[in-house]
Amino acid sequence: MDRAAVPPRFPHLDGVRAIAALSVLGVHTAGLTTFTTSNDLLGPLTARLNVGVAIFFVLSGFLLYRPFVAARLADRDAPQIGGYLRRRALRIVPAYWLALTLLAIWPGLNGVFTKDWWVYYGFAQNLRGGWILQGIGPAWTLHVEITFYALLPFLALGAARWLRGRPVERQLWPELAAIAVLGLLSLALRAWRSVAGSPTEVGANILPQLFLWFALGLALAVVSAHVADRPVGRRPGWVRFVGAHPGVPWAGAVAVLLLSTQVGLPILPLADYDTYELLCEHVLYALIAVLVVLPAAIGTDGGGRVRALLASRPLVWLGLVSYGVYLWHLPLGEEINARLGPRVADLGFPIITLAVLAASLVAATLSYTLVERPLMRRFRGSPAPRAAERPAPVPAG
């Protein structure tokens, strides 16, 4: 295999995935313990921790599109579609079916062992309002993820045909412009459907209205692939800046997160959003997500405390098993809160959060060690990639 064909390492992305997983878990435990609605100071902040959904979508767009872009720029064959789909299925399906079945047995999940069982085993629960909060509640995003998996090879093929014959150095801006158009069309569709119908209709939870977040990941993938082989001194100034100062994008993400608590967004779980609130949150979350992912995707040969944190063993491990944490945490959290919550009173949020994290990590680690990793090694058709290269499906809240 020539050097250009060796997949690059992104050693900090598991750490970003861990932070997103903690964010998703935190928004749920804050809701379960009523911390979000009872704490006037921090409640508006914990209500916005569902930004972890956007972070995971950006990560998926980046990690899954980058190999297609890198292959095109190096004039190599693109990833084989069959192998790509097999890896995606192995990564998402077995762990989900296992969690869905065991959690339906205990502590119990609505809808799973009924005539509608196919909805949950078939990743269709976000297609009807009555289904979306049953089964494993956050798993509605798996339908979004699977739809993106299916769409991505067609996007890559279209880009390859459209850009064929152009010099490599003249492909960057046209591709970024096309991705921007797709992202803005998604946002426009979200706005139009919000005005024409209900801002919280089922359509708001499917890929066409959520594509903006994936588009940001696609854009990062394009930039990353274009600058990867350039000497540092020949990279764009902003790329060099992110490489040298990874804390600045994170500071920006924190600032935007704090801003999101001051613009009148709902803090009640499952609150009805009006059009302004829906679009405002969507755009702010897009900005936060891309700023969080940026130092792990661009200028990765730089150092700094941010990247040291992302490379720490606890975050790397949590990121590696984050899909399992996502699948298990809310049903376990509801059971833990019901049993433990009345005993811990005002300390409910931190204690319940730690208890749910511990229980979810145990379940996720067992799932990954006994089911996910063995199946991926046996059936993926090639050696399993290193942990930092292995994208996980999107946890969501």
Contact call for residues 213 and 58 (beta carbons, < 8 A):
yes
Query: Does any domain span residue 198?
Result: yes
Query: Does any domain span residue 305?
Result: yes
| Token pair for 359 | 């229980």
Rg of the chain (C-alpha set): 21
Query: Does any domain span residue 310?
Result: yes
Torsion angle of the four alpha carbons 172, 173, 176, 178, in this order, in degrees rounded to the nearest 10 = -120
Residue-wise pLDDT tens for the chain (397 aa)? Answer: 333 445 577 989 999 999 999 999 999 999 999 999 999 999 999 999 999 999 999 999 999 999 999 999 999 999 999 999 999 999 999 999 999 999 999 999 999 999 999 999 999 999 988 898 899 999 999 999 999 999 999 999 999 999 999 999 999 999 999 999 999 999 999 999 888 776 667 788 999 999 999 999 999 999 999 999 888 888 999 999 999 999 999 999 999 999 999 999 999 877 888 899 999 999 999 999 999 999 999 988 778 899 999 999 999 999 999 999 999 999 999 999 999 998 887 789 999 999 999 999 999 999 999 999 999 998 875 444 444 444 444 443 3
Query: Does any domain span residue 395?
Result: no
Domain count across the chain = 1
Range of the domain at 302: 3-389
Query: Does any domain span residue 241?
Result: yes
Contact call for residues 245 and 157 (beta carbons, < 8 A):
no
Query: Does any domain span residue 397?
Result: no
